[in-house]
Structure 1
């Protein structure tokens, strides 16, 4: 994983998911954003960036590219990501939401075979405070420090950062893995990255109802993570999901506990492995200070 100010970064697509403000913020933050790719717009400039028709043209001009930020239409994400991988890019941030699940399955198989890290879809990306911003996270909520933030949510990611910053707790890395049904990287992958990161002293994990990612993360924390972890689960008062109106979810619920995927299940999983859980985002800094001590 290469997340340094020297990392070469490109943007694929200039659709509704990214704006001149986001691009300007990344550049102002020191991100080495060198070009954009937008088929049919080669030779132009968009948001001040030189634009190419193909990713391979950027590679030919600037050499190896470390990261691409994909902002194309959801149905074009797979093609954009495969083009990036074919050009030797092994860090992919997908901002676009609603990527077809079958496309994500194909992308994940290719990513695994090529050792490519995929963040998203439906993610605001990654920020290493004071060093690099990849995506649309508002940098003003962050300050350099030792607390890693790992989240499924978008806006809650920066809300937690703001709470930590206000309490005098800086952040080492903040990543939203994305809130689509199928995403590129997991809580488990990022827990391992944070656990091996020398600049991270404690981890805040932000989950939400749906699926079993938080339960799997809780088990992994108990088995393999040495650093202290604090959790927050959004939607604890949300009504249980109703599966019977969508026949496509039938296979997903047969044989599973009625609480599967609920906030209740996730809270129980963290309680079982003695990971402290904040009732509100404002309580997270207090719990972090306790586990660090």
Structure 2
């Protein structure tokens, strides 16, 4: 199985005919994603050739859903217009909107994430790399050739660290990898993904990547304590970041002792999460923990199979 995105997902691309939309639509198609159409009101009725496949362009998300049964949209619309594009998708009844666009004004993000929640649309992003279920579907800009299908679930604020952990653990593989984005306001949180991975029978272990700023990781730790029984391994970026300075992501700002990497690591470790000091150490913790989990499973199976005296 997987979370949020499967081989059955039918994907629209809003902004498909722009430079970034064209490039990443081609990559999504190469990864096996069922891209069923693009959306551009000025080019409705046209078809765009991607190697051996011609993808139709629709004038609206509603038209695309009506013609193809699409249930996912990937948004590559420029920042000033991205909020309206997301609202259009929500109004059309899309189940999942993956908002890749960086630099969307925070008040726009607040408005469309709140609206989407009321209407029942899941937002991933904004300012995110998207999500991938290896071997099934890829919605966004995550490189599809750096890992394979497996039993690790990954949720991350950082796109770059998503890629690195996928590569470091490529021999084990992933059920689904979700880049939730690093802006102060995002539609899908660590907790949302933890809950979904906990319920996914094909996810054996969860990797959680956070970074300085805010309290998302502390809230995730509280959720893990109460609701997650699967092993979780964490990594927090930003141990050397100076206080009071935004580092990269708009959400990565530390005020005093709040939101520091050390505070987040301590909160996670307090609920039993093993936290690496580097991405490579984090990958090693995952491998060690998987070995332990599988040894325990084999031991329990042998006990069940042992003849009774």
TM-score by length of 2: 0.85
Deviation at 1:94, TM superposition (A): 0.2
Residues 15 and 71, structure 1, Cα contact 8 Å, conserved in 2? no
Alignment of 1:8 with 2:10, yes or no, is: yes
Aligned to 2:108: 103
Q: How many Å separate the matches in 1 of 2:175 and 2:102?
A: 26
Does residue 73 (structure 1) correspond to residue 78 (structure 2)? The answer is yes
Residues 1:150 and 2:155 are matched in the alignment: yes
Q: How much does 1:100 deviate? A: 1.4
SS at match of 2:238: coil
Give 1:216's aligned residue: 219
Indicate the residue corresponding to 2:67 in structure 1.
Answer: 61
Q: Please report the RMSD computed on the Cα atoms of aligned residues, expressed in angstroms.
A: 2.0
Structure 1: gaps spanning 5 or more residues: 244-248
Q: Separation in 1 of the partners of 2:86 and 2:25? A: 20
Q: Deviations over 1:165-222 (max 9, x none)?
A: 1xx2111110000111211111111100010011100001111111111111111111
**Residue of structure 1 aligned with 2:284, choices 270, 283, 286:** 286
Aligned to 2:203: 200
Once the two structures are TM-superposed, the CA of residue 237 in structure 1 deviates from its matched residue by 1.1
Aligned to 1:25: 27
Take 2:77 and 2:48, find their aligned partners in 1: how far apart are those partners?
14
Q: Match of 1:128?
A: 133
Structure-1-length-normalised TM-score:
0.90
Alignment correspondent of 1:269: 267
CA shift digits 1:246-266 (9 cap, x unpaired): xxx9xx99xxx8211111211
Aligned residue in 1 for 2:306: none
* Partner Cα distance (2:279, 2:49) in 1: 35
1:91 aligns with 2:106: no
